[in-house]
Amino acid sequence: MIYDHIDNIALYRFGAAAMKAFEFLKTLTPDSPDATHELIGRDLYVMVQSYDTEAEPSPILEAHRKYIDIQYCIANTEYIAVAPLDESTLKTPYDAEKDVAFYHAQKMMTLCAMAPSRFVLLFPTDEHFAKFAAEAPCRIKKAVVKLRADLF
């Protein structure tokens, strides 16, 4: 997991595909429509989405094998819970078609406070869940980058 502000992106030595994603994220505004943008086909795409955060979201964590997630906050705030996959208890086995497995919540998780221009980069060794209201439930605008892990 990497948790930071997009203004610090130059501090990292990411590959070309990841940098392409971050350059795209910098163009997004609260007025950007919800849509999916293919930057390198299905190897690198961005889902811009809006939804309501919840005071008590279902604490089921997800993890991916094929893709790295970069979750980026555009407007309002939420918490994203992150935990190491190797300390997890499986709830639903991995579905290769959807690239997801689900896990029961752990006692020890890191909460990333997602405010505008903050991102969290989640590797296949990280499990996570979002939609967690930071202060009070609100409508959030965010982008979720799906980057094929072997391109990172």
What is 26-62 written as a DSSP string? TT--TTPPSEEEEEETBTEEEEEEEEE-BSS---EEE
Q: How confident is the model over 44-79, as pLDDT tens digits?
A: 999 999 999 999 877 799 999 999 999 999 999 999
93 pLDDT band, cuts 50/70/90, is very high
pLDDT mean over 72-94: 94
Full residue range of the structural domain in which residue 89 is found: 2-112+121-151
| Rama region for 108: left / alpha / beta (φ>0; ψ in -120 to 50; rest) | beta
The CATH number for 16's domain is: 2.60.120.370
Question: What pLDDT shows up at residue 150?
Answer: 95
Beta strand 110-114 pairing with 139-148: unpaired
Average pLDDT of 96-108?
91
Mean pLDDT of 135-147: 96
Give the DSSP H/E element, type plus range, for residue 88: none
Number of domains within the chain: 1
Predicted structure pTM score: 0.94
User: Would you state the pLDDT for residue 57?
Assistant: 79
* Between residues 54 and 87, the one the model is more confident about: 54
Q: What is the pLDDT of residues 21-42, one digit of tens each?
A: 999 999 999 999 999 999 999 9
pLDDT for res 107:
80
The pLDDT score that the predictor gives to residue 87 is: 82
Q: Residues 104-137: pLDDT tens digits?
A: 987 888 999 999 999 999 999 999 999 999 889 9
